[in-house]
Amino acid sequence: MIKAIGSFTQIEFISKYDSEKDKTIFLLGSISTKQMGVIQDMLSRWRINSGKMEEIIVQTAQRNYELVKCGLKGWKNFKDNDKDVAFNEKNIEKIPIEVISEIADKLLELNTLSFVELKN
């Protein structure tokens, strides 16, 4: 059985880099197929010469940021100098790039078919 994209509401995600006692919790949600397609098309390039693919370019860091921008639905306990950081698009830029990469990987996992689903 294939599950529809968006069949989960939100999950909580904690970075492996978070060593604090009070963890920052990132709230992750679904990304629509349309949004996923736009992100993949916008940030991937193929160069073909004489019918042969010569080069594939994937702007991974930018792709990860765009995925997080679409799939991050909120956070708890995200601080800047002991002050709560308001959840908004501009403040996503305050998340360290390593954590952006982790969140993007989790969002891809949540929003694509699993190996078992692909096999069936």
pLDDT digits (tens, 9 = 90+) for 99-110: 999 999 999 888
pLDDT at res. 47: 74
For the ranges 5-9, 43-47, 79-83, 106-110, the one whose mean pLDDT is highest: 79-83
DSSP character at residue 37: H
Q: For the chain, how long is the longest CA-to-CA vector? A: 58
pLDDT at res. 3: 64
